Amino acid sequence: MEISPDYNQDKERISLYVSKDIKEEWQTFAKNQNYSTLSKLIREALRFFIQCKGLDLSNLSHDLKEPLTSIKGYLQLIVETQGDTIDSNIISILKNVLNQCSVLENKIVEHLDNFEFDLEAEDFNQKLKYDILLIEDDQETVNLLTSYFESMKIVCKGVLSGFKGLKELKRYAPKLILLDIILPDINGYEILKRIKEDNKLKNIPIFILTAIPSIEVEKKALDLGATGSISKPFNLTDFDVIYKYLKKK
């Protein structure tokens, strides 16, 4: 490959590793179409594709986040339970990957927030009392469980992030909380701790939802004050304990 001698990074933002002919072709196109950078062209092309195809970014975000959640959960499990037996350099690498997963999750949740139920727009419905607050970042799981409990004459409200769950608890105290451990913004352990430190909320029973198959995870949740736990993937019959618990109220 021949490197163009008049390369100007500030002007072009194009890789050095292209032929002079290709670069000149791009410069001509960019000048005629008024594109200052290649990234601008890509962004506009993606925007056009979304508008024409009706691409659902909420589904895309969830599809990306599902494997991220699993990776993050297992990394946390390894660091927490095997940290003393693994070489410190490896632990450092695992923590770095974990941090990068968190950064990417935060980016994804920004998109997910755009597809959540708007509290103000749904103000009429939000005035209705409900039995269960479900704090779970997967929309399909929220839809499934809210429909399931509805069939059992139990009203369940779902929110898709930890901070939205805490915000909702300031507005209304439900009879019971279903809480996912791994969330995009704040983990379930921290939410559990905050709830148990709040005199107005501390007596609300909390059942943990977790995809991490570990006795240590369950023990930690119970030590923080959880009433019980339900493992993912779950069967709907696993929630019979919730039904029976609420009927005692």
Among 1-5, 58-62, 81-85, 100-104, the minimum mean pLDDT is found in 1-5
205, 185 in Cβ contact below 8 A? no
Among 75-84, 104-113, 142-151, 227-236, the minimum mean pLDDT is found in 104-113
- Reference 135, options 106, 156, 114; nearest CA is 156
Q: How far is CA 155 from CA 41, 92, 132, 134, in A?
A: 47, 44, 6, 11
Pick the CATH number of 123-247 from 3.20.20.140, 3.90.1150.10, 3.40.50.2300, 1.10.357.10: 3.40.50.2300
145, 172 in Cβ contact below 8 A? no
pLDDT at 38: 67
pLDDT at 11: 42
3-12 per-position pLDDT tens digit: 444 444 444 4
pLDDT at 196: 94
pLDDT at 208: 93
pLDDT at 81: 77
When comparing pLDDT for 17 and 190, which is higher? Answer: 190
164-207 per-position pLDDT tens digit: 999 899 989 999 999 999 888 888 999 999 999 999 999 999 99
**pLDDT bracket for residue 77 (50, 70, 90):** confident
pLDDT at 118 over 50: no
Residue carrying structure tokens 């009203």? 155
Whole-number Å distance between alpha carbons of 178 and 204:
11
Mean pLDDT value across the chain:
77
- Count Cβ atoms below 10 Å from residue 202 Cβ, excluding itself: 12
